[in-house]
Amino acid sequence: MANTDGPTRERISITAYELLKEKGVSGLSMRALADRLHIKAPSLYKHVADKDEIIADLQARGLREFGEAIKKAGKSRKAKALAYRKWALGNPHLYEITVSIPLLRDRIPPGLEDGVTKMIIEITGKDHAHARAVWALMHGLVDLEIAGRFPKDADLDLTWKRAIAMIGKA
Amino acid sequence: MANTDGPTRERISITAYELLKEKGVSGLSMRALADRLHIKAPSLYKHVADKDEIIADLQARGLREFGEAIKKAGKSRKAKALAYRKWALGNPHLYEITVSIPLLRDRIPPGLEDGVTKMIIEITGKDHAHARAVWALMHGLVDLEIAGRFPKDADLDLTWKRAIAMIGKA
DNA sequence: ACCTGAACACCGTTCAAGT
DNA sequence: ACCTGAACACCGTTCAAGT
């Protein structure tokens, strides 16, 4: 008799997150995940329907933790913007899986996405169109920075300063 | 005797582009590419070093065609911004492979990336930091739109209007 | 109820062998 | 010089079989 205590659904989630943190999106495979849990890949399918269920789990975690980080930040628009950057750069793989691949809307807790969206609208203090533009600005900065698209000598602190100056001036 | 005229390097490039346009980044595999050229996958390696060489080819094409589209657009910042959106949405897979995955800097023609960057700086008419923020704004809008992150009822024309209004006001 | 090996349809890439 | 089949180390997923 081998393991009597198989991996719970919870342990699968936690291990998937560890794997993502260490190896990134491309390193998150069902086989690698199974290895860490000391089971074979097919056994995973007794606990989850498919890989998307695991991805949706991580996206939900990303939205939750991101939302908390923004909530905890100072109240000014500048503080919120810098918290956005800090969180994204501190959790690049979680940011990527949450925001750079299609969101599995039907498989994350309802209201979670809306909650984060509403928070962004509240921060900008204007209408939805403006809030979306601000979000795009933040996301674009972070995405290009994570992807290494800015030259090495680029002054990104200054770039963020300019970006923050843009907000609210429309 | 089978094919006497094997695929040239040029035909590989063209076929890769067709494949990308039809099937997207995930559909661009060496095996699928070989199939279209009526050869076996290993034969590709007599013409290219690896898949990255093909990706770099497509990234170079993306930078070139994108640059031309922006150059041809009207001179106003608004016209340039709308041309950015139009090109990206009209060529979503080429946009993605060019800008949403790491740029293979060592494998594209030197100066190509700089040329496009300089063009953006010229358009914004300010310093590099400002130009980068503007680029991030455009990229963020397009990336979120392509990824389907905005709600279906979002008024994206209005969002772009607000975004364009932000530019130049920093 | 949970886990397994074998299998299927995929990847990128290497390499000895053929022409 | 170019192409091939076989192989290696990977994917996600299914399924009959074991406990």
Indicate the DSSP class of residue B98: I
Read off the CATH number of the domain in which B11 is found. 1.10.10.60
Number of CB atoms found within 10 A of residue B90's CB: 10
Across the interface, of B103, B133, B140, the residue whose CB is closest to A159 is B133
Coil, helix or strand for B150? coil
Domain that residue B96 falls in: 63-167
A170 vs B147: CB contact, 8 Å cut-off? no
Residues A40 and A80 in one domain: no
8 A C-beta contact, residue A70 and residue B117 = no
* A84 and A9 assigned to the same domain: no
Any atom of strand D under 7 A from CB of A143?
A: no
pLDDT in tens, chain B (170 residues): 334 456 899 999 999 999 999 999 999 999 999 999 999 999 999 999 999 999 999 999 999 999 999 999 999 989 999 999 999 999 999 999 999 888 999 999 999 998 998 888 888 878 889 999 999 999 999 999 988 888 889 999 999 999 999 986 55
Of B140, B149, B155, the CB nearest to A137: B140
Same domain for A18 and A84, yes or no, is: no
Q: How distant is C1' of D1 from CA of B42, in Å?
A: 15
List the nucleotides on chain C closer than 7 A to a protein CB. 1-7, 10-16
Of B136, B138, B148, the CB nearest to A102: B148
A84 part of contact set with chain B, CB < 8 Å: no
User: Residue A55, Cβ neighbours under 10 Å: how many?
Assistant: 22
Distance of alpha carbon B23 from alpha carbon B38, whole angstroms = 18
Residues A9 and A73 in one domain: no
Tokens 């005229």 locate to B5
Å between A45 CA and D14 C1'? 10
Name the region of A63 (left: φ>0; alpha: ψ -120 to 50; beta: rest): alpha
Q: Answer yes or no: are the C-beta atoms of B137 and A166 closer than 8 Å.
A: yes
What pTM did the predictor assign? Answer: 0.91
State the DSSP H helix or E strand holding residue B121, giving kind and residue range, or none if neither. Answer: helix B112-124
- Using a CB–CB cutoff of 8 Å, tell me whether B104 touches chain A: no
Task: Please check whether residues B19 and B95 belong to one and the same domain.
Answer: no
Count of domains forming chain B: 2
pLDDT of residue A5: 58
A77-96: average pLDDT: 95
Is A25 inside any structural domain? yes
| Identity at A2, one-letter amino acid code | A
**Closest C-alpha among A1, A155, A37, A130 to residue B160:** A130
Q: Which amino acid is at A38?
A: H
Task: Quote the DSSP letter at residue B105.
Answer: G
Distance (Å) from the C-alpha of residue B10 to the closest C-alpha of chain A? 28
- Do residue B34 and residue B3 come from a single domain? yes
| Residues from chain B contacting residue A26 (CB–CB below 8 Å) | none
Interchain CB distance below 8 Å, A166 and B170: yes
User: For chain A, give me the number of helices (H) and strands (E)?
Assistant: 9, 0
Q: Are residues A121 and A74 in the same domain?
A: yes
The answer to whether residue B58 is domain-embedded is no
Residues B156 and B79 grouped into a single domain: yes
User: How far apart are alpha carbons A124 and B166 in whole angstroms?
Assistant: 13
| CA of residue B19 to C1' of nucleotide C11, angstroms | 16
pLDDT at A131 over 60: yes
A82 and A108 co-located in one domain: yes
Q: Write the pLDDT tens digit of every residue in A96-125.
A: 999 988 899 999 999 999 899 888 888 887
Q: Give the H or E element holding residue A34.
A: helix A30-36
CA of A45 to nearest chain B CA: how many angstroms apart?
24
User: pLDDT tens digit string along A16-67?
Assistant: 999 999 999 999 999 999 999 999 999 999 999 999 999 999 999 999 999 9
**Is there a domain that residue A98 lies in?**
yes
* CB of B42 lies under 7 Å from some atom of strand D: yes
| Structure tokens, A91 | 């959790």
Please check whether residues A70 and A36 belong to one and the same domain: no
CATH code of the domain covering residue A109: 1.10.357
Closest residue to C19 (CA to C1') is B1
Is A81 within the bounds of a domain?
A: yes
- Please tell me whether residues A147 and A104 are part of one structural domain: yes
The answer as to whether B71 is a domain residue is yes
CA–CA gap between residue A155 and residue B42 (Å, rounded):
44
B40 touches strand D (CB under 7 A): yes
Nearest by CB to A129, from B102, B138, B155: name it. B155
**Residue B56, domain member (yes or no):** no
In a domain, A26, yes or no: yes
> Does one domain contain both A67 and A12?
no
Residue A68 is assigned to a structural domain of this protein: yes
